[in-house]
Chains A and B, each alone.
Chain A
Amino acid sequence: MARTSQRLLDPHFVSKLARLDLRARLVVDGFLTGLHRSPYHGFSVEFAEHRQYMPGDPLRHLDWKVLAKSDRKYLKQYEEETNLRATLLIDTSASMGYSSHGLSKLDYARQLAASLAYLMLRQNDAVGMFAFAGGQGELIPPRSTPSHLRQMLVLLERLEARGGTDFAASLHALAERVKQRGLVIILSDLLDDPERIAGAIHHFRHRKHEVLVFHVLDPQETAFTFEREAVYVDLESGDRVTTRPQELRGDYRTRVREWIETIRGFCVEKQADYVSITTDTPYDRALIEYLSKRARLL
């Protein structure tokens, strides 16, 4: 059972499924199944029903009254009361289309966004979506209706990686449009000036939003394991650099590490949560980060 749920969280395995809604449901179900054994169980606050106690369940949810009356062990199940408004910001710039092993950063972000949206809606949270690139974007305002999921999935299905990022401009624009405070979840490779990224995050924070940044990178972007001398073409700017990877690998890795640390530092400074993930990272890592964030917010 646990192995099956793990497979459902593997990006490569999930990416082979055709429908995004099905993928999202599988991911979340697999995640929640595994979560039964985890300390994240029980984020709802309103009682919903009883369930028979199973060995391993925490005793703190045991209904002692039922136990006293009938000598049977039942756990109390709760229904969640929502007051969270979350907006998923998905970077669709050309650089997000990069893939070194079949699953592009955009594919990964798309799947993660669908899973998060499905999970949020299952928890009766209001969730919206904003796909942006080149300083523009398309916004779906947050709602908590189940039919809202389909609208977001449609948007996710047609996302394509194109154009430049202009991360800061897009986010500044969105920050002005989203009046009601909530949780802003950014899924991007953050290939922009770190100072400007920090400025955009600061804008959200200024508007009293909570910010969770998923820094999505391809493993090749950090490892840079190319061997042959080649002409490297920038997916967004089209710039060309001819070099030998084996000559530069060490320095390159150092530079990327410093860049990531810079962004992380800015996020910490702006009190935003920062999660660096690569496209081969299982989805549960991101979902756990989200749930942790949500638990802190509620």
Chain B
Amino acid sequence: MSAFSFLNPGFLWALPLASIPILIHFLSRRRLPEIRFPTVMFLRTLEPREIRRLKLRELLLLILRTLALILIVCAFARPSVEPKGASTRAAAAVAVILDDSESMGAMDEQARPRIEGARDRGLLIVDAARSGDEIAVTTTTGADAPLSNRSEDRVRLDRTVRQIQTSWLPGSMEKALERARRFLGRTTLRSRELYLIGDFQASGFTREAREKLALVARSGARVYLLPVVGSRVPNHAIEDLDPELRPGPQGKGLEMRARMANHADAPTDRLVVRARRADALIGGGDVSLLPDESRWASLPIDWRAGAQNASVTATDLGAKAPVVVESDVDALAADDRRFAVLGAPRRLRVLRVVESRDGAPAPRFAALALDPSQDGSGGYSVEAGTPASLLSINHGRYDVVMLEDIASLSGDAEARVRSFLREGGGVVIALGPHADLDYYGQRLFPGLIDLAIEGTERAAEGQSFELRARVPADPILEGLTLKVGSPLTQSHLTAFARGRTTSSRAEAVVATTGGLPILVSGPRVAVFLGSLSDDWGDLPYSGAFVPLVRGMVDHAARTASPEGLDQALVGHPPAARLDVAPSGSVTVRGPESYRSQATVLSDGSGFRAVADAPATVPGFYVFEAAGREAATVAVNPDPIESDLNPIPLDSLKTGPLPPRAILTASSLRTHLHDTRQGRELWLPFLVLAGLCLAAELWVGTARIAAS
């Protein structure tokens, strides 16, 4: 039931003004002038039939004038009606989630940072709070506990919202929604609202975040989405830097690699990239990218330029050096600069775990793909081992462990593999005809990679499966020139394990005919659901085999991890490998007065120092022991924010959201006004008054015009 009320009832004292037309009407009748006229016989003949119409018309005019005045007075008294279902009069618990992730630093349609528009919306909500309202403000990169206040502390809330800036820290919409849900769940107020302000990047709305949003909506809270942008903004980004220097074309000079991405519907035209060492320009080039293309670009460099020590030569690459790579600034400046500590190519140390069966040695296809000359010159040194070897692995000795057609692991070996992963190592798992699929699906994969195994898929007699690329330009497929959906190789598989990813953290990079995943990647883990031997097909004999195996190993070794070394992300503690045990405490210095103590751990082959405090901004973090530099690591933001493409908001409305859940800046004002003070009706009242006056004018002049 809608309730009607006046917001300025004091104006209703002016209602007696509505009697003015009535008074004028009667007074003017009483004081009619007399006009002496030769004869009234012509008037008298007209009078009887006119008089009734005149009286009726006068009454109508009187009603219209009086009604117009009543409506005008009422309009000044600001009539309002409480929308059906709204609880205008009741206090409300309001949770505000303000996206302060890196992408909110991009410009909006008004050429100002998106965060400003988000703050404006947040301030509108805070300012609209009434006495008794409870308000909680949180950000996607914010602390676990949201700021919660009664509306009386308006100044503090207002200041809090004004101070919100974009953060380099990794944001989590899911966690922010959980904080809001907890806040709304604790309140005793019946009216509960959640306002979600941001650019609604697709990367922020994972399946878990969507589920959390639906959970909030189902709890009875009204959810409102406040996008600050309406469409995709073109943006290019430096997504990654290969920390290893490589020989240049035909073995001449050196080059470094930068992974460039073009998040746009149009190609880039010769995007300029520059590499600096200290303040000196050491190299660069230009890169042209297709729409939505992401690929590694080689940049020739002069390694000696900018070197602090002039005696350093091009071949003396053992000493790593901090390098900054920049591109022209566009919509989002945060991803146009990236830091790396570059040095000599790292030789990946791979422990290949195989089992000999019936006395026969295990096939060595994968080993030959990685290190064909068996001297480590190809960038990989492969060591063969058995499942028992896993009991002694550590990240100090191996970078990647490759399990190849292993039936199952003992509990200790399995625990050691998990520990190896936590230390920052990578794992490549290739199944095969001897693998116990139940063991992998139910015991090993949980906690390792979100992949469920459902049995073995075998081709019919005379039939086979093709491998098809599924993810565009995935680093695992780097050595292959492929488009999405194109066959990976001419070879065919006769069988493979049928698997299914169970979260977005695992991604099917390659699929078979029919769309079943065959190569799945996760953080520091790659799983090949077929066989790397020739017992499930002829893949080892194809040209795609070597790039595929190396791609998986590179992926497992390269994938940035919170605890990884040399390449760290903002929001995580910087960590560095120390070759010798430091004497005394290790301190870490970073940009913007960052300073932290570090904890030193021994991992068998060396020492690892991990800062106590997380890095807050990108840059170089220097580990110092006894006043001397022990190591330098680069910290960068997560490039996941670079694609400035909002999700279709309607896709979020599949749950029980209110019908008008998507609010623009202007509709937010109306919404807040309507829900806090009721829907004001002064404009309809004024329009009605205007119609009354127009009708009065028409009725009054129609007869004159006819005359």
**Surface stretch bound by A, among B32-40, B268-276, B368-376:** B32-40
Instruction: Indicate if the CB atoms of A233 and B43 lie closer than 8 Å.
Output: no
Whole-angstrom CA separation of A283 from B706 in the bound complex: 35
8 Å CB interface, A83-108 against B: 95-96, 98, 105
Beta-carbon contact of A247 and B703 below 8 Å:
yes
B50 proximal to A (CB < 8 A)? yes
What is the chain A residue whose CB lies nearest that of B49? A251
Pairwise interchain contact A250-B707, C-beta atoms closer than 8 A: yes
Q: Which residues of B lie under 8 Å from residue A57 when comparing CB positions?
A: none
In the complex, chain A residues whose CB is within 8 Å of the CB of B44: 239, 241
**Chain A interfacial residues counted at CB < 8 A:** 35
Q: Number of contacts between A and B (CB, 8 Å)?
A: 89
- Any chain A CB within 8 A of the CB of B286? no
Bound Cα distance A235, B38 (Å)? 5
- Tell me if B45 counts as interface (CB < 8 A to partner A): yes
Establish whether residues A233 and B40, one from each chain, have CB atoms under 8 Å apart when the complex forms.
yes
Whether A251 pairs with B40 at a CB distance below 8 angstroms is no
CB-contact partner of A235 in B39, B704, B706, under 8 A:
B39
Known contacts A243-B43, A250-B706; decide if A235 and B54 are in contact (CB<8 Å). no
Complex Cα gap A231–B32 (Å): 6
A105 → chain B closest CB, angstroms: 8
Chain A residues whose C-beta falls within 8 Å of the C-beta of B34 in the assembled complex? 230-233, 240
Q: Give Cα A243 to B46, complex, Å.
A: 10
Which of A36-44, A129-137, A150-158, A221-229 lies at the interface with chain B? A221-229
| Set of chain B residues within 8 Å of A250, measured between Cβ atoms | 706-707
Q: How far is the CB of A202 from chain B (nearest CB, A)?
A: 23
CB distance from A263 to the nearest CB of B (A): 14
What is the chain B residue whose CB lies nearest that of A258? B42
Instruction: Say how far A298's CB is from chain B's closest CB, in angstroms.
Output: 36
**What's the Cα separation between A179 and B42 when bound, in Å?**
37
A16 to chain B, nearest CB (A): 24
Bound Cα distance from A241 to B703, whole angstroms:
19
Q: Of B40, B50, B703, B704, which is within 8 A of A232 by CB? A: B40
| Cβ A249 vs Cβ B707 within 8 A | yes
8 A Cβ contacts from A230-266 to B: 230-237, 239-244, 246-252, 255-256, 259
- Bound form: Cα–Cα A246–B40 in Å: 15
B47 interface contact, C-beta 8 A: yes
- With contacts A231-B33, A231-B35 taken as known, whether A247 is within 8 angstroms of B54 at the C-beta atoms is yes
- Chain A 187-223 residues near chain B, CB threshold 8 A: 189, 191, 218, 221
Q: How far is the CA of A255 from the CA of B35 in the complex (A)?
A: 20
Interface residues of B in 17-58 (CB under 8 A from A): 28, 32-47, 50, 54
Given A231-B34, A232-B35, A240-B40, A246 contacting B46 (CB threshold 8 A) = no
Contact B39 A246 (CB under 8 A): no
- The answer to whether B47 touches A241 (Cβ under 8 A) is yes
Question: In this complex, what residue of B is CB-closest to A228?
Answer: B33
- In the bound complex, how far is the Cα of B706 from the Cα of A228, in angstroms? 17
Asked whether A234 and B37 contact (CB < 8 A) given A241-B44, A248-B43, the answer is yes
The residue from A235, A243, A249 contacting B36, defined by CB atoms under 8 A apart: A235
Chain B residues whose C-beta falls within 8 Å of the C-beta of A247 in the assembled complex: 50, 54, 703-704, 707
B40–A241 CB distance below 8 A? yes
Q: How far is the CA of A30 from the CA of B91 in the complex (A)?
A: 96
**Binding site secondary structure of chain B:** helix
Chain A residues with CB under 8 Å of B40's CB are: 232-234, 237, 239-241
A95 and B38 form a contact (CB under 8 A)? yes
A259 touching B42, Cβ below 8 Å: yes
| Residues of B close to A98: CB separation below 8 A | 36-38
Residues of A within 8 A of B45 (CB): 255
The answer to whether B50 and A233 touch across the interface, beta carbons within 8 angstroms, is no
- Chain A residues with CB under 8 A of B42: 252, 255-256, 259
The answer to whether A235 and B37 touch across the interface, beta carbons within 8 angstroms, is: yes
Given that A231-B33, A250-B707 are contacting pairs, would A243 and B38 also be in contact in the complex, using a CB cutoff of 8 Å? no
In Å, the complex CA distance between A61 and B527 comes to 139
Given the known interface contacts A241-B47, A246-B704, A246-B707, the answer about A221 and B38 at a Cβ–Cβ threshold of 8 Å is: yes
Q: Are A95 and B33 in contact (CB under 8 A)?
A: no
Q: With A and B bound together, what is the CA distance between A277 and B183 in angstroms? A: 96
Chain B residues closer than 8 Å to A248, beta-carbon distance = 43, 46, 50, 707
Asked if residues B33 and A230 are in contact (CB atoms below 8 Å), the reply is yes
- Is there an interface contact between A189 and B54, defined as CB atoms closer than 8 Å? no
**Inter-chain contacts of A96 with B (CB < 8 A):** 38
In the assembled complex, the Cα of A243 lies from the Cα of B707 at a distance in Å of 14
Contact (A233, B46) CB under 8 Å given A241-B40, A247-B703, A250-B707: no
In the complex, A200 Cα to B305 Cα: how many Å? 134
Most buried by B among A191, A232, A237: A232
Separation of A230 and B35 alpha carbons in the complex (Å): 7
* 13 further contact pairs, Cβ within 8 A, besides A234-B39, A239-B44: A95-B38, A189-B38, A226-B35, A232-B43, A235-B39, A240-B34, A242-B32, A243-B47, A246-B703, A247-B703, A250-B707, A252-B43, A259-B42
10 closest Cβ contacts across the A-B interface? Answer: A95-B38, A250-B707, A249-B707, A98-B38, A241-B40, A255-B42, A234-B40, A241-B43, A246-B704, A230-B33
B residues adjacent to A (C-beta < 8 A): 28, 32-47, 50, 54, 703-704, 706-707
| Complex A-B: 29 CB contacts under 8 Å | A191-B39, A230-B33, A231-B32, A232-B35, A233-B34, A233-B37, A234-B37, A234-B39, A235-B38, A235-B39, A236-B38, A236-B39, A237-B40, A239-B44, A241-B44, A242-B32, A243-B46, A243-B50, A244-B54, A246-B703, A246-B704, A246-B707, A247-B50, A247-B704, A248-B46, A248-B50, A255-B42, A255-B45, A255-B46
